Amino acid sequence: MVLMGLTLLWYLLIKPQDYQVRFQAKALPGTIYETVKSWNNTLDSVLPMGYGDPTRFQQSLVAGDSVHRYHWVIDRLHDSLSQVKVNIKDPDHSLANKLSVLFSDTDFEKGARKKLLGFNSFLNDHLRDIKISFEGEAELFSTFCACVAITSAPEEKAKGMMANYSLLNSYLVGNGVTLNGHPFVEVESWDLKANSMDYNFCFPIIRSENLPRHPSITYKRIFAKNCLKAIYNGHYISSDRAWYALVDYAEQHDIPIERKPLEVFFNNPNLGGDGRDWRTEVYLPLKETK
86 membership: H or E segment, kind and range: strand 81-89
Which of 57, 55, 59 minimizes the C-alpha distance to 29?
A: 55
**Containing structural domain, residue 252:** 133-285
Q: Which of 85, 113, 128 is the last residue of a domain?
A: 128
Task: Specify whether 143 is located in the same domain as 187.
Answer: yes
Which of 226, 224, 225, 233 minimizes the C-alpha distance to 144?
A: 224
Task: Specify whether 142 is located in the same domain as 110.
Answer: no
Residues 17, 87: contact at Cβ < 8 Å?
A: yes
Task: Specify whether 170 is located in the same domain as 279.
Answer: yes
| pLDDT given for residue 18 in this prediction | 74
Q: Which of 67, 100, 128 is the last residue of a domain?
A: 128
- What whole-number distance in Å separates Cα of residue 211 and Cα of residue 54? 43
Task: Specify whether 195 is located in the same domain as 153.
Answer: yes
| pLDDT given for residue 99 in this prediction | 56
Segments in the chain below pLDDT 50: 2-15, 95
| pLDDT given for residue 19 in this prediction | 84
* Residue 7 DSSP SS3: helix
| pLDDT given for residue 100 in this prediction | 59
Task: Specify whether 116 is located in the same domain as 147.
Answer: no
Tens-place pLDDT, residues 145-193: 999 999 999 999 999 998 999 889 999 999 999 999 999 999 999 999 9
Tens-place pLDDT, residues 13-48: 344 567 889 999 999 999 999 999 999 989 876 677
Residues 81, 25: contact at Cβ < 8 Å?
A: yes
**Within a domain: 9:** no
CATH of the domain at 201: 3.20.80.10
Task: Specify whether 117 is located in the same domain as 141.
Answer: no
Task: Specify whether 160 is located in the same domain as 143.
Answer: yes
Q: Which of 128, 161, 194 is the last residue of a domain?
A: 128
User: How many folded domains does the chain comprise?
Assistant: 2
Task: Specify whether 100 is located in the same domain as 146.
Answer: no
